[in-house]
Structure 1
Amino acid sequence: MSFPHLSEVLKILDGALRSNASMSSNYAGLLADKLEQEGEREIARRIRERLARAPAAVAYAQDAGGMAGGLPVDSESRLETLDISTPAKGSVHLFLPGGTAKRVEEFLQSVRHYDRLREARAAMPLRMLLYGAPGTGKTQAARWIASELGLPLLTARCDTLISSLLGQTSKNLRRIFDYIEQRPCVLFLDEFDALASARGNERDIGELQRVVIALLQNIDALSDNTVLLAASNHEKMLDPAVWRRFPFQLPLPLPDTALRHQMWQNMLGEFAPEALDWQLLSTKSAGASGALIEQVSLDTKRHAVFAGSAHIDEEELFRRLSLSLALADGHALATLSDEIRWLRNWDTKIFSLRELARLYNVSTRQINHYLQDDHGNAGKPTRKRKAQP
């Protein structure tokens, strides 16, 4: 026999059995929200009325131990180890390829129907590991998932979570995991490789290995229906034991041509001129991340606003795109002549001599001067040397 909202009821009982008024009231509030969404407004109202009678001082006193403003803090710095946000539904735009979007939707359905899945013995711990190159949407995905679930997003702050004191990082982890068990939320461990790097590296010290062990133990002790998201730009650095703790694993690739087309249209919006060549823009932005496309769009729209124009300058858009791709690929364009030579090599049709002269507000003669490399810089723009390890 199915019993709806069993997870919330059990959490309320857990809080009562632990004499944790904060935990019980938090999950009772979530239960009231779900009942109201299902049309059970009278029951939701009665639950909220009962909650309103609860002495707030009790819950506050329980939260205050080892906390600042209710959030866990690092004993050394006294800074909070979590950031909290509440992204509203519809406020976060997420662009994913079809197959990846389907995986995210499957995760959401697993959260929403956890009780039914558990009854059918088909439930898995609600933990997802997101990984991929920088700018592919890992943080955006975490914000979108929280907004779709209607839950606050608690993001671990690695700058305060990781302490210089022996053993303090493990204690900080314990406080974070204890804290999130007391309230409905999504815990997001960003830059996950900073906590979960593979053990056995000869440069590791004992403390770092203890942090990984503490992390694994805390994940294992976490309730299966608590939503945990982790993100890494360097998945190959993660400890092998970490992967087994995340039944849902989501690789986030760079956007393909069709997805780039969708991103450009969404991000440029009404600023896009009617004659903009979307296909060319989508093709020329191959290799760009979603974050890069967003930044180029914002920069170009700002340029239009400063120029008093209702639409962006198409060639200015391509100029900013090309220079951003160069920077992302490690090319050092330190001078104006470097930029102009790069643009000319990138696409001679888009960046004709006359167009370059217009964009840089100089004469075509001056453009020729830059292209002839009169300043003694031979060939194409130089590539940045990578720092030696």
Structure 2
Amino acid sequence: MSFPHLSEILKILDGALRSNASMSSNYAGLLADKLEQDGEREIAGRIRERLARAPAAVAHAQDASGFVGGLPVDNESRLDTLDVSTPPRGSIHLCLPGGTAKRIDEFLQSVRHYDRLRAAGAAMPLRMLLYGAPGTGKTQSARWIASELGLPLLTARCDTLVSSLLGQTSKNLRRIFDYVEQRPCVLFLDEFDALASARGNERDIGELQRVVIALLQNIDALSDNTVLLAASNHEKMLDPAVWRRFPFQLPLPLPDEALRLEIWKSMLGSFAPEALDWSALSLKSEGASGATIELVSLDAKRHAVFAGKAHVDEGELFRRLSLSFALTEGHSLASLSDEICWLRDWDTKIFSLRELGRLYNVSTRQINHYVQGDHGNSRKSTRKRSSQAQ
């Protein structure tokens, strides 16, 4: 038999048994919110009325030592080890492949109906590992999940979490996990490989092994209905034991052609030129991440604003896209001639001599000099060798 909102009731009891007024009041507030969503406004109002009568000082007095302003801190730096944000629902536009979006939705349903699944013996710990190349939407997905659940997102700060003091990193981890158990939230461990790198490699030392062990122990001790998200750009570096702790595993690939088109349209919005060749733009951005498309779009829109234009310049858009690829591939385009030769080699149709002259406000003759000169020939040879190597 399923009992609605049993998770919140049990958390309230846990707080009471631990003499932790902050934990009890936080989950009582969440229970009131859920009852109101179910149409039980009178009961929700009575809970909130009772909470309003509780002395505010009591909750603050119950916070564990080592917390400053309610957040856990690193003893060495005295800085918070968590960042808190509350993304409003509907404030984040998430562009993901259909299959990936469906798996995230399944995770959300598992969170929302945890009590029903638990009663049926089908519940799994609410932990998801997101992995993939940089810029594929891991952090954005975490923000979107928190906003859809209406919960604050608590992001672990690796710069203060990882300490130079022996044993301090493990203590910081313990404080973070203790803290998130006291309030409804989503815990997000970004750059997860910094904490969960595989043990036993040649460069490993005892302290790093202890951190991984402490991390695994804290995850195991975490309540199954506490939402935990972790993200990594280097999933192959993760310790094998980590994967078993995450029943939900979500690879985030680079966007395909259809998804790139969706992202371009979303990012450019009303700034898109009426005659823009969307198909060419999507095709030429193959290999670009969603973050790269967003950055190129923002750069092009800023250029349009500075120029007093209502729409981005199509040639400028392709120019910035091409230069982003040069940066990604590690090419240093230190001079104007470097840029022009790169663009010309990237696509001679898009970047004709006339178009390059327009974009750089120089004569076609000068553009031709850059392209035909020794420097241009050298760039072409370099580009050709790079393509052959790939």
Rounded to whole Å, the distance in 2 between the matches of 1:307 and 1:374 is: 34
Q: CA deviation at 1:234?
A: 0.2
User: Does 1:339 find its partner at 2:339?
Assistant: yes
Deviations 1:85-104 (A, max 9, x none): 00000001111101111100
* 2:84 alignment counterpart: 84
User: Does the 8 A contact of 2:136 with 2:253 survive in 1?
Assistant: yes
C-alpha distance in 1 between matches for 2:246 and 2:113 = 18
Contact 2:371 2:377 in 1 (8 A): no
Which SS does the other structure have where 2:264 is aligned? helix
- Whole-angstrom distance in 1 between the partners of 2:150 and 2:68: 24
- Per-residue CA deviations over 1:12-58 (Å, capped at 9, x if unaligned) read 00000000000000000000011111111111111000000111111
Match of 2:95 in 1: 95
SS of aligned partner of 2:63: helix
How far is the alpha carbon of 1:367 from its aligned partner?
A: 0.6
CA distance in 1, matches of 2:3, 2:52: 26
Q: Find the residue that maps to 1:63 and give its secondary structure.
A: coil
Mapped contact 2:255–2:288 kept (Cα < 8 A): yes
Residue 196 to residue 369, structure 1, CA distance change in 2 (3 Å): same
Identity %: 86
Q: State the TM-score, normalized to the length of structure 1.
A: 0.97
**3-state DSSP of counterpart to 1:93:** coil
Q: Partner letter of residue 55 of structure 1?
A: P
Distance change in 2, residues 1:376/1:139 (3 Å):
closer
Counterparts of residues 4-83 of structure 1 (less than 5 Å): 4-63=4-63, 65-83=65-83
CA contact (8 A) 2:341 2:376 kept: no
2:182 is paired with a residue whose SS is: coil
8 Å contact 1:341–1:381 — kept in the other structure? no
Query: For residue 295 of structure 2, what is the aligned residue in structure 1?
Result: 295
**1:351, CA displacement in angstroms?**
0.5
2:139 corresponds in structure 1 to 139
When residues 61 and 250 of structure 1 are mapped into structure 2, their CA distance, relative to the original with a 3 A threshold, is same
SS in 2 for 1:250: strand
Aligned equivalent of 2:229? 229
| 3-state SS of paired residue (1:378) | helix
- The answer for the alignment partner of 1:309 in structure 2 is 309
Deviation of the 1:377 alpha carbon: 7.0
CA contact (8 A) 1:332 1:381 kept: no
Alpha carbons 2:258, 2:282 under 8 Å: kept? yes
Match for residue 188 of structure 2?
A: 188
Partner Cα distance (1:381, 1:307) in 2:
36
Whichever residue aligns with residue 290 of structure 2, its letter is G
Equivalent residues in 2 for 1:203-214, closer than 5 Å: 203-214=203-214
Which residue does the alignment assign to 1:166? 166
Higher deviation after alignment, 366-375 or 88-97? 366-375
Distance in 2, Cα, partners of 1:293 & 1:264: 7
Calculate the aligned-residue CA RMSD, in Å: 1.3
Contact kept, 8 Å, 1:342 with 1:381, in 2: the verdict is: no
User: Which stretch of the first structure deviates more once superposed, 320-329 or 210-219?
Assistant: 320-329
What is the CA–CA distance in structure 2 between the aligned matches of 1:111 and 1:372, rounded to whole Å?
62
Contact 2:84–2:155 (CA under 8 A) maintained in structure 1: yes
> Which deviates the most, 83-92 or 335-344?
335-344
Q: Distance between the aligned counterparts of 2:381 and 2:260, measured in 1?
A: 27
Whichever residue aligns with residue 333 of structure 1, its letter is L
Change (3 A) 1:353 1:110: same
The separation in 1 between residues aligned to 2:178 and 2:87, in whole angstroms, is 23
Q: When the two structures are superposed, what TM-score results if normalisation uses the length of structure 2?
A: 0.97
The 2-side partners of 1:382 and 1:159 are apart by: 39
- Within 2, Cα distance between the matches of 1:298 and 1:132? 23
1:116 alignment counterpart: 116
The within-5 A match list for 1:347-366 is: 347-366=347-366
Q: Secondary structure at the match of 1:209?
A: helix
**Unaligned runs of at least 5 residues, structure 1:** none
Question: Aligned equivalents of 1:373 and 1:9: distance in 2?
Answer: 76
Equivalent-residue separation in structure 2 for 1:380 and 1:127 (angstroms): 49
Paired residues in the alignment total: 384
Residue 379 of structure 1: CA displacement?
3.3
1:195 Cα shift? 0.1
Match in the other structure for 2:285: 285
Q: Following the alignment from structure 2 to structure 1, what is the Cα–Cα distance between the partners of residues 329 and 257?
A: 19
Amino acid of the structure 1 residue aligned with 2:164: S
Change (3 A) 1:9 1:347: same
CA contact (8 A) 2:370 2:376 kept: no
Q: Distance in 2 between matches of 1:373 and 1:174?
A: 63
Matched residue SS, 1:141: helix
CA displacement at 1:67 relative to structure 2: 1.0
344 and 376 in structure 1: CA distance in 2 versus 1, 3 angstrom threshold: closer
Q: Which amino acid aligns with 2:18?
A: R
User: Which stretches in structure 2 are left out of the alignment for 5+ residues?
Assistant: none
Inter-partner Cα distance in structure 2 for 1:143 and 1:379: 42
C-alpha deviation, 1:119, in angstroms: 0.3
The whole-number CA distance in structure 1 between the counterparts of 2:137 and 2:257 is 16
